[in-house]
Amino acid sequence: MDKNLTPKEQEMLTALEMQWSKHLSRNLLLSSHYDGKFRVDNLGINIAPEMTKKLKKPLMMWSRQAVKRVADASIVEGYRFAGDAPDGFMLAMDENKVSDKYDETLPSQGTHGLSFWTTTAGDDNEPPFVISSYDALHATVLWDNRHSTELCGLAILNTDPKDSTKVTAKNFYAPNGDIVEFENLNGKWISRRLKCGTGRCCMTAMRNEPDKQHPLGKSIITPSILQLEKEVNREAVRMILHTELFTAPQRYIAGANEDVMNEEVMKLFLASFLSMPPTNVDGDQVIPEIGQLSQTSMQPHINYIRQLANQFAAEASIPIHSLLYTEANPASAEAIEASRHDLVERVEKLNRLNGQSFRKIAMLGMSILEQKPVAELGEVERSFSVQWRNPLTPTLASSADAAGKLAASVPGFAGTPTFWRMMGYDDKQIEALNAEIDANRARLPQDISAS
């Protein structure tokens, strides 16, 4: 047992390592589908294995579309408090580039079902607290079902270049907030324990669609999605081979002497017209017959891919136009909005769950910033919430129209940050607008009030 761990913490670390190792192969498989680096299985019925080997990479990455459609619609626009934010908090969040890290980590959350965030004290020349993010290939947690929170966590900082399962550096995040750092030097583990003072585990999990059977969430890439993606890529291979076969006209010859039809003649036959001598069959002369096979239609392939796309869109809750190009007339705004209904519902649920995780992350940061345990933070600190962009993505015209109607019916709404956001301005533009308005009021108080 390591000297910097209690017996209970040693048991937790062992359980974390076993859990990470257990799910590693599955997570690597899901990553291969998201990255388009999986192998398309050949059924071996009508297509020879030699042909499929020439088409090594998948032609359609639908699993990536299923994840990205959700990730692209979940956008952090800012943070809110019931009062003024603690001194230095907003600056530290900006220096940590939390929104950028969220955009980078969200695809991993969708692919593996969860992602992980750590909040630790900053070193010299760093913000007061440092927020880092990890995917499921490099971190895991033990879940406390009774309190519905993270019990402890493990971050894999480095592995052997020749063996990704051999860990050479890791951090253990204890239930009381302490961090134990481990490094393997020449085959010997060296550790040190750091006090954090938060009073709770400094690792937070962002989970996708958790339930009682899967408290750490589930991947967007379901088993059905995996099979549908493989099948559509098999169909793409069939289409390619179909096209190759009929790129040059498929010709045939009947009644020719086998001695005449040598390899050189066959090459000539494929490239140009050929004059063949009569063939003697039982004393009778038979004139060789040459013909050309008509090309079969591609429409059955196209229809099958469209059917697979419909099944995939239903399973992934994404619009079918995310998968297929159509030459039909553009759909109306109402039809487009209706097609995105299931996707919007999924994103709204994801935002609600991730908002709760962001609150944990923020409270850990404020705990470090104010040097007090999370349990002792005040009401203002606990009122932290995330402002999300509307996943419906209404047009600027409709949003501005709604803002104007609200301003007319709700006194004092005009000029608020929410009003300006609905008008299409971001937080920096709103800050500049308010500064200009205040400057104009100070310079021309009578003219402004008269207008």
Overall average pLDDT of the 179-192 stretch: 91
pLDDT at 404: 81
Residue 358 near residue 109 (C-beta atoms within 8 A):
no
How many Cα atoms within 13 Å fall on the side-chain side of residue 253?
Answer: 21
* Selected residue with higher pLDDT from 333 and 303: 303
pLDDT at 264: 61
Please say if the pLDDT value at position 320 is more than 80.
yes
How many Cα atoms within 13 Å fall on the side-chain side of residue 440?
Answer: 11
The residue type of 341 is H
Overall average pLDDT of the 305-319 stretch: 90
Overall average pLDDT of the 214-231 stretch: 94
pTM of the model: 0.79
Residue 204 near residue 361 (C-beta atoms within 8 A):
yes
Scored b (16 or more CB within 10 A) or e, 98-130 reads bbeebeebbbbbbbbbbbbbbbbbbeeeebbbb
How far, in Å, CA of 195 to CA of 183, rounded? 18
CA-wise closest residue to 375 among 80, 109, 149: 149
Residue 102 near residue 116 (C-beta atoms within 8 A):
no
How far, in Å, CA of 324 to CA of 318, rounded? 12
Please say if the pLDDT value at position 447 is more than 60.
no
pLDDT at 272: 47
Please say if the pLDDT value at position 94 is more than 50.
yes
- pLDDT category at 58 given cuts 50, 70, 90 is confident
- pLDDT category at 368 given cuts 50, 70, 90 is very high
Overall average pLDDT of the 170-175 stretch: 96
How far, in Å, CA of 316 to CA of 69, rounded? 9
pLDDT at 279: 60
How confident is the model over 61-73, as pLDDT tens digits? 899 999 999 999 9
pLDDT at 266: 56
pLDDT at 273: 45
- Owner of token pair 């003072």: 197
Overall average pLDDT of the 77-93 stretch: 92
* Selected residue with higher pLDDT from 242 and 362: 362
How confident is the model over 9-24, as pLDDT tens digits? 999 999 999 999 999 9
Sequence-distant (≥ 6) Cβ neighbours of residue 218 within 8 angstroms: 113, 208, 209, 210, 211
Which three-class secondary structure state does DSSP give residue 203?
strand
Please say if the pLDDT value at position 119 is more than 50.
yes
Which three-class secondary structure state does DSSP give residue 312?
helix
H or E segment and range at residue 223: helix 223-245
Overall average pLDDT of the 225-247 stretch: 84
166-175, 183-192, 355-364: lowest mean pLDDT where?
A: 183-192
**Of the segments 280-289, 377-386, 399-408, which one has the largest average pLDDT value?**
377-386
* Helix 98-112 / helix 7-35 crossing angle, nearest 10 deg: 80
- Facing residues of 204 across strands? 117
CA-wise closest residue to 176 among 366, 383, 12: 12
How far, in Å, CA of 319 to CA of 330, rounded? 14
56-60, 204-208, 318-322, 415-419: lowest mean pLDDT where?
A: 56-60
How many Cα atoms within 13 Å fall on the side-chain side of residue 364?
Answer: 29
How far, in Å, CA of 222 to CA of 63, rounded? 9
Please say if the pLDDT value at position 244 is more than 80.
no
Rg over alpha carbons for the chain, rounded to the nearest Å, is 32
Residue 154 near residue 16 (C-beta atoms within 8 A):
yes
Please say if the pLDDT value at position 135 is more than 50.
yes
pLDDT at 174: 96
Please say if the pLDDT value at position 387 is more than 70.
yes
155-169, 282-296, 315-329, 338-352: lowest mean pLDDT where?
A: 282-296
pLDDT at 323: 82
CA dihedral angle for residue 348, residue 352, residue 355, residue 360, rounded to 10 degrees = -160
CA-wise closest residue to 130 among 202, 78, 201: 202
If you count them, how many residues does the chain have?
451
How far, in Å, CA of 389 to CA of 408, rounded? 24
What is the sign of the dihedral through the CA atoms of 434, 440, 445 and 450? Answer: negative
Mean pLDDT (the chain, rounded): 84
- Facing residues of 182 across strands? 170, 191
DSSP 320: G
* Selected residue with higher pLDDT from 51 and 406: 406
* Helix 62-73 / helix 98-112 crossing angle, nearest 10 deg: 140
How confident is the model over 139-163, as pLDDT tens digits? 999 999 999 999 999 999 998 888 8
How far, in Å, CA of 353 to CA of 349, rounded? 6
